Each structure stands twice: as C-alpha cells, then as structure tokens.
Amino acid sequence: MAAETWIRLAESRDAGLVRSLTATYNSGTAVVEDRCRRLASMGRAYIERFGSGPVSVYRAPGRVNLMGRHIDHQGGYCNMMALEADIYVMGGIGAPRRLRLHSTASDRFPHAEVDLDHALDGYTGGSWEEYVTTPAVQERVRRAGGVWSGYAVAALARISAECPAAESFGLDAVVAGNVPVAAGLSSSSAVVVAIMEAIVDLAGLELTPERFVTLCAEAEWYVGTRGGAGDQAAMRFARPGHVIQLGFHPLNVERAAAWPNGYALLVANSGLQARKSDGARNRFNQRVACYHIGREILLRRRPELRDRVERLRDLAPSWLNVPDAEVAEMLLDLPIALERHQISDHIGAESAERLLSTHDCGGEPYPIRSVVLFGLSECERSRRCADLLARGAVAEIGRMMNVSHDGDRVSSAAGGWAGRRAAQCSDADVRALAMECRNGRSLVDQPGAYGCSTQDIDAMADILLETPGVLGAQLSGAGLGGCLMALVQAEQVDEAHARLVSGYYAPRGLEPETLVCRPAGGCGPILP
C-alpha cells in the first residue's frame, strides 16, 4: 500500500484501521487517535525522505515484567505484559544490502544509512556468538557508542547471517514511537523486533514465532547486550488484557492470566537513564557472568548434578525437586565473592576467558553467592506468579514484588542497606536460612543481592510503599536507572502519583513521568 494511502486512511479515521487499532490496544479512543496521527506523520516523512512507493507498517510494544527479573537467560519464568507505548516502523524495500533509517524524532535520533557489507564485515558464516564476540566487532560496538540505529542494523545483520534469502535485502524505514528510552521498558528491543518484523515480511521469509524471538534476542548480542529472550518473547506473544507467563529453554507460553480487576500497574520513570550500550552494559553482563560462574562452581563440587543441570534455573528447588533447605545449603559451596583474577582457578581458564570477555568492571569483585541466591529465589517467585494472578492473590504478588526489589536495592529510607546486603550471604546467615527452610520457610522470601537498582529508584519505592493502596513496588527491567513499577489499588493511583510528585519529582526538579499500564497486544503488522 502506498504511503499516500496510509496518510488518507489515518487522516480519515478509516473504519477498518480504527477496528484494527482498537483490538490491539484494548483501550479507549485516545490511543487510537494518537496512532492515527502517528501513521499520517510517518507517511509524510516517508514520502519526503524516500519518495512514494509501497510500504507496510509494523508495531512492537514496550513491556513490563511483573515477576522474573534478571532470569530469562537462566531459564526462569517471566510474567510479561505488553504496553500501549510502542514503536512503529513504516518500511519499504530499499537498495540491496542497504539500510536507510529515518526517525520522526530526528532531533534525538538522527538519520542513518548503513551498508550490510560494513555491518557484517569479517563474518564468513558459522557461529553468530563467536562472530559477535570477536575483538573487531566489540571495537565496532564501542565506537558506535549506543546510537539508536545500531539496534536496527543488528536486526538486519542477524537475519542476513541466518537466512540466505535475506542476504541481498535492503530496507527503507521510518521509525516512530513513544516507549521511554533507557527506562527499563525495552525501547531498544522494540526497535529490533519492529525492524525484524519488517524485514521478515517484506523479504518473504518464513520463521516460526519461536525462531523469530530467538533471532531478535541474538541480534542484540551485536550491540553488546547478553540477555535472554524474555523481552522479545513478551512482544511476540502478548495478549490484550493479560499477563503471559513465558518459559525458556525451550521457549513456550506456559499460561495467560487476566489482569485483576480493581488494580493498576503504575510505572514511574526515575529520570536516570541506563543505556545498555554504555557503561551500564558492563554491570549487566558481569551479573550474568556471576550466574554462570556460580553454577559451574556448584557442578564441579557436586558432579552428580551435572546431568540434571544446564542452567541456574535447574538448581532451584522446584526444578531440582528437593527441599528448599537443601538448595540453601548448596550456597555454602560458593565463595561469597571472587576477584576477577581468581575466577579461572574455580572454573578453568577457557570458561573464565569466555565469560569475562563480555564486560570490564575494573577492579569490582564478583558477588557470586548473593547473585546466585537472588536468581534461585527469583526463579521460585516467577514460577508462582501466574497461578497467584489466576487465584486473585494480589496481595501475595505485591509482597513478592517487595522481596524481589530488596534483592536489587542499594539503599533504603531506613539506612544501613549495604550492611544488610553483606550479611545476607555470610556463612552464618546461609546456615540460618537453611535452618529456617527446614522449619517451613521458603526461598521465595529471600531477596539475595543482585544490586542493580539505584538510590533514586529505591527512594521512589520507599515513597510508594508508604502510600495507602500500594501493595508492592519494584525495579522495572535490567536496572541501573529507568523505571519503577508499583501494584496499586485502582482508586489510589492518583494518590500514588501525587506522592511521587511531592516526594520525588519536585524536590529533584524533574518533570513527573508516570503511566498506568494496560496490557496490550503483541508485535506484528498494522492491518487496515
């Protein structure tokens, strides 16, 4: 369909287009009106930048993960909902092996043109993982400095490396959206997914939904981020009005639970950006390395488990099918922390070199035991979440959110948080935890210490947890900036917003930025 036709349909509020948008957002007319204006603007921008021609439009939403933070790459469950906030790509077939990008917010996201030959320089086939970890690619990522177009290039590079039919494909695309950037709502992944949707459709490729998700996740390795496929899976499989529980390795939708009536998920932006392509990436990847190091140490000390354990998830009580106390006692096999130079002594030089190549945290130690405890307990919390939603046990979900956020905290209004975190994983405390588990306590109640929140986000959590009607508050996304989410009684949302304005935004001179999340549909083409 020509760009001019998109403009006409959007400006006339074509009935078919309005029906399609309404079904996607499961919401009122305000969102649909906004998207019609967006489509008209994109059509005009496409004609101005690339000329008239047949184009299609693709959408990918932002996402929030209600429970299951930092564990999708370890095989743990995620409990996801897609946002109304999203990225649109209006794309047409371009010159072979060339990507031309234009953003409607060009003052923030400049126009870019990239040749695939340059993007895949040095790739001769074979392992994608080995290619993206070569020094040449890592240096290219470092020089790029996290520009927005890198995520679109990553999508084209990954699909071209995977599918011979895409090797000669070229794309002209206009990109628009309203997912807050570097806020923990997966704006970068949404760009990758929307661009990948455009390429797969326009190039006539056939991919299963599961393979599509995997390729989108692997595309982000190209820009240096080594997470799992949770965000991309949420965007692909989301359902309006529902939270979907995703399992990984293998990827599957475990169940969908309706969002509970009378409650809202309030997301508030801290104003501090955490760009995964900048210094924060080193911290993210270091924490992932802690998981792998801890798992390998445990398997070396307990070789009888090796055939049963591929990922950290497999060591959690529900997967290993052992009492919580037994898993707690395993933590004593782990060092509390390791210096970088000590890691090869524990897991071998080859494994250490592979894991440490993804990041550089200077002289910061690796908090092995506390990170592993967080991961194991978060696996248990995330496994329970969908069932709790289905049973309407909203208060318990809120409580688990608070425990989970405690695992990421770096401060609290009461003070003394650093000391509490250090004590959580001492030998004495782990022995006490094992005893408590033998007396009926669960690892679900243990935060561990992943430590990827910030003092500002912790302050927001403290403000909200003092607000009537707020059941739980936790970090959204990978952390080190971005957003906080809170589970709130619907009638108390305005009060929660007001408390954040007076207690957080105003004292810091920040413009308030909050949104009430309504579960929307997943990615795909916009069909008028």
**What local confidence, expressed as pLDDT, does residue 477 receive?**
87
Examine the domain organization and report whether 353 and 342 are in the same domain.
yes
Examine the domain organization and report whether 165 and 310 are in the same domain.
no
Residue 207 domain-assigned? Answer: yes
Residue 522 domain-assigned? Answer: no
Residue 423 domain-assigned? Answer: yes
Examine the domain organization and report whether 313 and 384 are in the same domain.
yes
Distance CA 381, CA 231 (A): 18
Enclosing domain of residue 109: 55-259
**What local confidence, expressed as pLDDT, does residue 226 receive?**
76
**What local confidence, expressed as pLDDT, does residue 421 receive?**
58
Which residue, 465, 463, 450, is CA-closest to 410?
450
What is the β-pairing status of strands 56-67 and 524-525?
antiparallel
**What local confidence, expressed as pLDDT, does residue 433 receive?**
95
Distance of CA 123 to the CA centre of its chain: 27
Examine the domain organization and report whether 156 and 125 are in the same domain.
yes
Distance CA 146, CA 143 (A): 9
**What local confidence, expressed as pLDDT, does residue 281 receive?**
79
Residue 181 domain-assigned? Answer: yes
DSSP states of 342-375: GHHHHH-HHHHHHHHTT---TT--B-HHHHHHHH
Distance of CA 198 to the CA centre of its chain: 21
Examine the domain organization and report whether 192 and 317 are in the same domain.
no
Examine the domain organization and report whether 398 and 471 are in the same domain.
yes
Distance CA 252, CA 249 (A): 8
Residue 496 domain-assigned? Answer: no
What residues have CB less than 8 Å from 313, skipping those under 6 apart? 71, 74, 75, 76, 249, 319, 379
Structure tokens at 161: 């490396």
3-state secondary structure of 3: helix
Examine the domain organization and report whether 150 and 226 are in the same domain.
yes
| Residue 142: half-sphere exposure toward Cβ, Cα within 13 Å | 11
Examine the domain organization and report whether 30 and 139 are in the same domain.
no
What is the domain-level CATH number for residue 62? 3.30.230.10
Examine the domain organization and report whether 310 and 402 are in the same domain.
yes
**Average pLDDT of adjacent 10-residue blocks, the chain of 528 residues:** 97 96 84 97 98 96 96 96 97 96 93 92 91 89 81 95 92 96 88 98 96 96 85 96 95 95 96 70 91 98 97 98 98 97 97 92 93 98 97 98 96 68 78 96 95 95 98 93 96 98 98 94 94
**What local confidence, expressed as pLDDT, does residue 49 receive?**
97
| Residue 290: half-sphere exposure toward Cβ, Cα within 13 Å | 32
Secondary structure string (H, E, C) spanning 131-184 = HHCCHHHHHHHHHHCCCCHHHHHHHHHHHHHHCHHHCCCCEEEEEEECCCCCCC
Q: 365: cis peptide before it, omega within 30°?
A: no
Which residue, 229, 222, 235, is CA-closest to 248?
229
Examine the domain organization and report whether 236 and 291 are in the same domain.
no
Under DSSP, the state recorded for 54 is B
Measured CA to CA in angstroms, residue 356 lies from 304, 331, 347 at distances of: 27, 22, 12
Residue 95 domain-assigned? Answer: yes
Residue 509 domain-assigned? Answer: no
Counting the structural domains of the chain, the total is 3
How many residues does this entry show for the chain? 528
Residue finishing a domain among 259, 293, 313: 259
Residue 518 domain-assigned? Answer: no
Structure tokens at 178: 């309203």
CB 215 within 8 A of CB 223: no
**What local confidence, expressed as pLDDT, does residue 147 receive?**
85
Examine the domain organization and report whether 176 and 124 are in the same domain.
yes
Residue finishing a domain among 52, 70, 95: 52
Examine the domain organization and report whether 177 and 148 are in the same domain.
yes
